[in-house]
Amino acid sequence: MEKAKISVTQLFALMFIFDLGTSLIVSYGIPAGKDAWLAILLGMGGGILLFFVYYMLFRQYPTIPLTGYVRKIFGEFFGWVLGLLYCLFFLYIAARNVRDFGDLLTSSTLPETPLLAINLSLILVMCYVIYLGIEVIGRTAEVFIVILLLFGLGANFFVLVSGNVSLNHIRPFLEHGWKPILTTAFPPVVSFPFGEMLVFTMLLPYLNRPKLIKKVWLSALISSGLILSWTAALNMSVLGLDVMQRSTFPTLATIGKVNLFDFIERLDAIVVFTLLMTVFFKASIFMYGAILGITDLFKVKNRQQIILPMGFILIFLSMTISSSFSEHLEEGFTITLKYLHVPFLIIIPLFMLVVSLIRNYVKKKTS
């Protein structure tokens, strides 16, 4: 473990930016149709329940990361294998986030730039920041959360005064009943992005005031969830359901419609910069979680030795993860959500908590 510590404010900034991630830009909650905003709110509620699972595990093992207590719960061999799978999972999700950013840039602002050049640039910066340590990542997040909020306020203001907003696009309420809303919220929205915050269990031992974790985590989760719900409703009210369902990046399409006095237009750069900031921190945290896990599992003395090799693996993964962006999205919404997110973020943590509680109960009975 590093000797560095992160403050409560820094943890909030990291969690808030992390939760927004790519969810702010991609088609999020669309299967629920006009009620996507409601599906996100319900998913946020599920994310709060999931947080208490992660938090109870942390309370039982406050000084060790996820890869440490998974071995204590399931035994050295099986726990070690499961810990390694979690590290690979974190690395895979980091690669998906890098690919999301690369494809947005190549499809919107830098069509002539090779995808490899964009991904490579982002990953090298990530490696540098991770090399500097968790304190630097935390302090950087404190600065960028202010910029992110200013961008968000500016973009929302221009969209609202542009005259493109029509509440008819989000009516009628519950047009197709509760079924599409519930199937969108559980488990897709619960696991992405709220369940992905499991990676912070690798970082929680670094917090200088661990008693405030519950307050910080819940405030970051709720505030980011409300913003995601608002963004989905705003995109729907500007674009309408048909355009939303066809659009790869609805937020980019929404901001692209702004044209005030034939002077204020082409505000796409706001969305690109926003995604750059959110993806940078989200992918960095996932990569950092994987590095901490590998360091813990393989008893590496200096974690800085493996940063560059992990960076090369991440570049390779981000390029080979799929042959096209449409295939990448399809893989994300079907295979990744069903076969990776649900077991790694919901089922296994729940099982770990049950096993851990039973063990503690038996220990108390026998002692």
The tens digit of pLDDT for each residue in 21-30 reads 999 888 788 8
The tens digit of pLDDT for each residue in 219-236 reads 999 999 999 999 999 999
Inform me whether the pLDDT recorded for 1 exceeds 60: no
Amino acid residing at 188: P
**In terms of Cα–Cα distance, which of 23, 15, 18, 317 is closest to 188?**
23
pLDDT of residue 263: 73
- Least confident segment among 102-106, 279-283, 330-334: 330-334
Angle at 12 between CA 11 and CA 18, to 5 degrees: 90
Higher per-residue pLDDT: 325 or 114: 114
* Interacting residues of 237 by C-beta distance below 8 A, sequence separation 6+: 165, 166, 167, 169, 170
Burial class of 42 by CB neighbour count within 10 A (0 to 12, 13 to 18, 19+) = buried
pLDDT of residue 175: 86
Q: Are 239 and 250 in contact (CB under 8 A)?
A: yes
Q: How far apart are CA 343 and CA 56, in angstroms?
A: 18
Q: Are 211 and 62 in contact (CB under 8 A)?
A: no
Matching residue, tokens 């269990």: 201
> Percentage of the chain surpassing pLDDT 90?
75
pLDDT of residue 340: 95
Q: Are 2 and 134 in contact (CB under 8 A)?
A: yes
Inform me whether the pLDDT recorded for 367 exceeds 80: no
pLDDT of residue 221: 97
Burial class of 225 by CB neighbour count within 10 A (0 to 12, 13 to 18, 19+) = buried
**How many of the other CB atoms lie within 10 Å of CB of 110?**
15
Structure tokens at 19: 């939760």
Strands (DSSP E) contained in the chain are 259-260, 264-265
Q: How far apart are CA 246 and CA 286, in angstroms?
A: 30
Mean of the per-residue pLDDT values for the chain? 92
166-181 in b/e form (b: 16+ CB < 10 A) is: eeebbeeeeeeeeebb
Structure tokens at 276: 């750059």
Helix (H) / strand (E) element for 16: namely: helix 8-20
Confidence band of 172 (pLDDT split at 50, 70, 90): confident
Q: Are 197 and 54 in contact (CB under 8 A)?
A: yes
- Least confident segment among 115-129, 226-240, 244-258: 244-258
Inform me whether the pLDDT recorded for 266 exceeds 80: no
Helix (H) / strand (E) element for 5: namely: none
Inform me whether the pLDDT recorded for 364 exceeds 90: no
Q: Are 99 and 119 in contact (CB under 8 A)?
A: yes
Inform me whether the pLDDT recorded for 3 exceeds 70: no
Q: How far apart are CA 287 and CA 305, in angstroms?
A: 14
- Identify the structural domains of the chain with CATH numbers, from first to last: 8-355 (1.10.4160.10)
pLDDT of residue 2: 60
pLDDT of residue 69: 93
Q: How far apart are CA 47 and CA 70, in angstroms?
A: 21
Q: How far apart are CA 102 and CA 283, in angstroms?
A: 12
Task: For 97-153, give the DSSP string.
Answer: HHHHHHHHHHHHT-TTS-HHHHHHHHHHHHHHHHHH-HHHHHHHHHHHHHHHHHHHH
* Interacting residues of 315 by C-beta distance below 8 A, sequence separation 6+: 116, 119, 120, 123
Q: How far apart are CA 156 and CA 56, in angstroms?
A: 37
| Cis peptide preceding 172, ω within 30 of 0 | yes
- Taking residues 274-294, report their average pLDDT: 96
The tens digit of pLDDT for each residue in 124-171 reads 999 999 999 999 999 999 999 999 999 999 999 999 999 899 999 998
* Interacting residues of 55 by C-beta distance below 8 A, sequence separation 6+: 213, 214, 217
pLDDT of residue 207: 84
